[in-house]
């Protein structure tokens, strides 16, 4: 009976621990639950076979992703055109796919046979987690949502972000969870004085991370200030592409902008224009003329289709600091990192016939170049990240130059209704500001529209699901954070070193294989 309880109870405990990790992210932000969740998982993984460890890691992932990315189902249910059972099945497949990565981490860690428990939990475990999270952020173009480090944007560990980025925080969380595992009474390998040393190490790491918060890696540049107005149109997604709503939508944005022509820059959200750019050349010519007359730059999202029939998700700049408008816009950015199923369909020939979800309007976009020039913004240079792209720090870093003054991210989270998704999205944008020491300007259709300073603090924001305009002063910075200079290079060097250490101290498996039961009388 005890064996049966253990067989059921451990996977259930792992799933509950994974679900608790979701509470560490926005909008809940109980950041302490992340290291606790990892610690609990590691305790379950002690002295288990690779097969059992993989199961426990998979269950932990089920708990986290079933709760943490539940917002995806809102889009499937409202706009997918599928029966509920089909939508739930698709969601289940997504959750199970994402759960393969913690399963891979746990299985490989259990198979790593080393002579010292400290090497397993303090060297191999943090590096393996980085590798599996890195794979999750790369395979099928990547889904780097809910990396553990994001949960610490308001914790003392946030000071690590300008040095090692969000993945550096993840590495530190796993390291601290490994220390906690080693010193857990009756469970851990360290007892007596080693327990005190482990506690001191956790306290020391926390203190160092907190101390990093006191370092001013960049300084405000008072000569690089602008008044910026962000237009939150709050256009319902169900109405957005209806032909009879095209001009009412355009007039709404123009009316909201008309009151803010004294701003240096006016920004409309992703795909704010409910038409292709090529269909409205006269509209953009007039917008460009009015903006130039008012010495204002207008930046907006707009879709387009080129002569070859390829669709692009673009951001264009017109008005001050730009050439006179002629189609196509001389100054534009084309989204590079496309959202699977939303903007392109993997295995297209197989999936498109299956359901309307895979045939949403303009769901076959082409990617722009990986490296693109900054958008001119009335004397400053804005690096652009369209919606989902803000979750890819390496892409943003690759586009930064010494002349970059701010990061703008345009989005339309109306697809996800009143779910937790848009608030997690904002949390990710805050981390980019912290990593690169630059203000981040986030313009969205229905929230959360916000402006963040170089430390990731929200200066001002607009309430969700309300029409409004956010106008404030944005100040650029002078200097570079270590992460902006090095990126993830130090972490990957450490991953390589940790692999060599693991190989050097390899030994017998630390788990016990079950003995075969004799059938002899």
Peptide bond into 328 cis (omega under 30): yes
Yes or no: say if 360 and 79 are a contact pair by the CB < 8 Å rule: yes
Distance CA 213, CA 152 (A): 13
Distance CA 471, CA 131 (A): 41
- Set 343, 387, 389, 435: catalytic member: 387
Distance CA 63, CA 52 (A): 17
Yes or no: say if 412 and 444 are a contact pair by the CB < 8 Å rule: yes
* 409 Cβ contact list (under 8 Å, min separation 6): 384, 385, 386, 387, 389, 390, 429, 432, 440, 441, 442, 443
Other beta carbons within 10 angstroms of residue 353's beta carbon come to 9
Distance CA 277, CA 38 (A): 48
- Set 52, 292, 331, 335: catalytic member: 335
**Torsion sign, CA atoms 237, 242, 245, 250:** positive
Yes or no: say if 352 and 345 are a contact pair by the CB < 8 Å rule: yes
> Active-site residue 270, yes or no?
yes
Backbone angles phi, psi at 84, to 5 degrees: -55, -40
The structure tokens 């308001």 sit at: 154
> Active-site residue 387, yes or no?
yes
Angstrom distances, CA of residue 233 to CA of 127, 210, 238, 248, 255: 44, 39, 14, 11, 10
Helix axes 50-68, 2-22, angle to 10 degrees: 40
3-state secondary structure of 458: strand
CB-neighbour burial class of residue 185 (10 A; exposed 0-12, middle 13-18, buried 19+): exposed
> Active-site residue 51, yes or no?
no
Angle 370-371-377 from CA coordinates, rounded to 5°: 125
Distance CA 87, CA 343 (A): 18
- Set 52, 112, 270, 427: catalytic member: 270
Distance CA 7, CA 1 (A): 10
Distance CA 328, CA 281 (A): 8
Q: Residues with catalytic annotation?
A: 270, 335, 387
């Amino acid at each position: 009976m005890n064996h049966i309880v253990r067989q059921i109870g451990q996977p259930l405990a792992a799933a509950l621990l994974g679900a608790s990790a979701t509470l560490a992210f926005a909008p809940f932000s109980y950041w302490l639950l992340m290291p606790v969740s990892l610690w609990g998982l590691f305790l379950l993984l002690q002295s288990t076979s690779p097969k059992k460890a993989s199961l426990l890691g998979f269950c932990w992932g089920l708990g986290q992703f079933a709760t943490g990315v539940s917002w995806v189902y809102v889009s499937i249910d409202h706009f997918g055109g599928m029966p509920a059972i089909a939508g739930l099945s698709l969601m289940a497949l997504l959750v199970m796919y994402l759960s393969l990565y913690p399963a891979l981490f746990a299985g490989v860690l259990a198979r790593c046979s080393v002579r010292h428990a400290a090497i397993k939990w303090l060297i191999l475990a943090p590096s393996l987690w980085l590798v599996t999270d890195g794979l999750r952020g790369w395979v099928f173009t990547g889904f780097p949502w809910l990396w553990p480090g994001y949960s610490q944007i308001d914790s003392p560990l946030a000071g690590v972000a300008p040095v090692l980025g969000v993945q550096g925080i993840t590495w530190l969380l796993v390291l601290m969870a490994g220390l906690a595992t080693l010193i857990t009474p009756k469970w851990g390998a360290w007892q007596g004085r080693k327990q005190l040393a482990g506690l001191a190490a956790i306290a020391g790491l926390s203190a160092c991370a907190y101390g990093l918060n006191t370092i001013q890696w960049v300084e405000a540049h008072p000569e690089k200030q602008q008044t910026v107005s962000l237009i939150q149109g709050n256009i319902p997604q169900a109405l957005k592409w209806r032909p009879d709503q095209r001009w009412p939508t355009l007039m709404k944005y123009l009316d909201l902008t008309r009151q803010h022509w004294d701003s240096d820059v006016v920004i409309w959200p992703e795909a704010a224009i409910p038409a292709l750019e090529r269909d409205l050349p006269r509209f953009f010519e007039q917008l460009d003329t009015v903006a130039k007359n008012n010495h204002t730059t207008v930046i907006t999202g707009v879709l387009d289709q080129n002569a070859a029939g390829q669709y692009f998700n673009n951001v264009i700049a017109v008005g001050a600091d730009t050439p006179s408008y002629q189609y196509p816009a001389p100054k534009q950015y084309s989204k590079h990192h496309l959202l699977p199923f939303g903007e392109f369909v993997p295995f297209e020939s197989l999936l498109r016939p299956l359901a309307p979800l895979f045939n949403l309007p303009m769901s076959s976009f082409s990617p722009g170049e990986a490296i693109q020039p900054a958008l001119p913004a009335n004397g400053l240079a804005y690096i652009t990240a369209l919606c989902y792209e803000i979750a890819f720090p390496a892409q943003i870093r690759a586009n930064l130059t010494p002349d970059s003054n701010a990061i703008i991210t345009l989005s339309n989270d109306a697809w996800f209704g009143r779910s937790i998704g848009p608030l997690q999205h904002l949390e990710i944008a805050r981390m980019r500001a912290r990593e690169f020491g630059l203000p981040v300007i986030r313009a969205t259709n229905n929230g959360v529209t916000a402006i963040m300073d170089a430390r990731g603090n929200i200066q001002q924001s607009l309430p969700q699901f309300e029409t409004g305009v956010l106008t404030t002063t944005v100040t650029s910075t002078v200097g570079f954070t270590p992460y902006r200079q090095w990126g993830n290079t130090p972490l990957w060097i450490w991953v390589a070193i940790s692999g060599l250490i693991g190989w050097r101290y390899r030994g017998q498996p630390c788990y016990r294989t079950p003995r075969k039961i004799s059938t002899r009388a």
